[in-house]
Amino acid sequence: MPVRKTIHPKLTAARTSLVLEQPFFGSLALSLTFVEDPSCETGWINGRELGYNSSFIDSLSHDQVTAFVAHEIMHCAMGHPWRRDGREFKKWNQACDKAINENLRDAGYKLPDGCLYPTADESGKSAEWIFGRLPDPQENGQDDGQDDQDGQDDQDGQDGGQDGQDGQDGPGKDPLGEVRDAPSEPSENGEPAPTEEEWKQRTAAAAQQAKLQGKLPGGMARAVAQALKPTIDVRSLLLRFFQDRAASDYSWTRPNVRYISQGLYLPALHSTALGEVSIMVDTSGSVDEVSLQAARAIVESVIAECDPLAVTVYYADAQVCRVDRFERGESLIWQPAGGGGTDFRPALQAIEDDQTAVCCLCITDLYGTFPSDPPSFPVLWLATTDVIAPFGETIPLEQ
């Protein structure tokens, strides 16, 4: 059955309540087209349209319908329709719901029974962070979902499993619908495809309007701040760090082509290969394994592109537990060892004593003991937390 662009009276009333009482959600609600979709079980959002099943809306109270609309809007404000990036559909929906439902509940919205809430460890985390730590659907007796753009074959992001209430682990069955990927083509009436940047601008404007009226709850303000935080290109920053340490010199064998047309034969800057690089991997018990794996994937990509003369990997907790050396062209093989407390001094001293590294990359949560004086070589900390190191350059690993 085709989707009909109508609006249920309860949804009209809910949108009006949001406009009058909650300017943040009210302003953003006006950016969405409400469409009736009998083929879905509850509802869905894709950044342009909010789809709903009329029977589902009929089953809810006014307060619950209002919470449903706020829930779907929050997905857009957090950029969820644009951020799945090929992740498993059902598991992504679960992670997205956990990332926003706690803030909505704390703001006073009466969400329907059975909604997914984050565990203590998941509270305040992004959907990507939560996704990386959820069990796969296959491990819970589910099918493996779909990879369609609109997600129409998998209503509510799952087909069963545990109830998932109150932040329980497991896939759960959230009654508030699904986050579908944002459309990439204009609508039938020529409306351009929605973009994440447009929604960021709308969200920032709506938050400012609500704040001026004193109607932006603290928890919601923090969530909005997280959504609007600039994205850090970790790979580019790592690449720049290594490339800046490559030896450079002027060579007469390579004339500077910029000045040849002027009759001047000047030397060109010639960059040689990157020297030896040291990598310290924090293997203490406090380091999150999922974040560590994400960091390693990025580092492998950057090392392959920079092609250093050699890479020495130091696995360390309160001491150096293992050292592996890889010559140019060899693939990095990660063999972690350790698991105790954290003291950065032994590993940094070992790198200092070796006297071969042109720089050092440290993958860590930054919870540990630092030396009183920084080492003589440049250090970049790839942090799995938001802690800032007392010296060197710190790049947070955002997921």
Q: Name residue 50's amino acid.
A: L
Mean pLDDT by 10 residues, the chain (399 residues): 68 96 94 94 95 95 96 96 94 96 93 92 91 78 44 40 38 72 91 93 93 86 82 87 73 52 54 84 89 89 92 96 94 91 96 94 95 95 93 86
pLDDT of residue 104: 94
Show the domains of the chain with their CATH numbers. Answer: 9-228 (no CATH), 235-396 (3.40.50)
What are the backbone dihedrals phi and psi of residue 69, each rounded to the nearest 5 degrees, phi first?
-65, -45
DSSP per residue, 115-167: -B---TTTTT--HHHHHTTSPPGGGGT-------SS-TTSGGG-S-----BTT
**What distance in Å separates the CA atoms of residue 95 and residue 126, rounded to the nearest whole number?**
8
**What distance in Å separates the CA atoms of residue 248 and residue 332, rounded to the nearest whole number?**
26
pLDDT of residue 171: 40
pLDDT of residue 310: 95
